[in-house]
Amino acid sequence: MPDIDIDFCMDRRDEVIRYVTEKYGAENVAQIITFGSMLAKGVLRDVGRALDMPYSDVDRIANRCPTVFNISLDEAIAEEPRLREMQTQDPRVERLH
């Protein structure tokens, strides 16, 4: 069977679920939730984009993050001296944190 994958607001969410359940039957309706986590490089890139920083600058900063699975931004700054130096010398990098 085809599926419907929709993200919708919590407001009136229960009404949508009730409608779909009534229309297609409880045996054909399931709710799935996923949780994601943002790692250091992704956080830097997203925040940089939100702050309208040039992509090349954000890319240069993000590439200083160690390529370590599940590393947090604080851990990346503590582990990588060049990233820590960028943070202390450039207020834009400090603002990303």
Question: How many structural domains is the chain composed of?
Answer: 1
Is residue 69 in some structural domain? yes
Is residue 79 in some structural domain? yes
- pLDDT for 50: 93
- pLDDT for 13: 86
Contact 38, 25 (CB under 8 A): no
Is residue 10 in some structural domain? no
Q: Residue 1: which pLDDT band, with cuts at 50, 70 and 90?
A: low
Is residue 80 in some structural domain? yes
Alpha-carbon distances of 84 from 7, 66, 73, 94, rounded to whole Å? 38, 12, 11, 9
CATH code at 62? 1.10.10.1600
Is residue 4 in some structural domain? no
Residue numbers of the domain that contains 74: 40-96
Helix ranges, the chain (H): 13-24, 40-50, 55-62, 73-79, 81-89, 91-96
**17 pLDDT above the threshold of 80:** yes
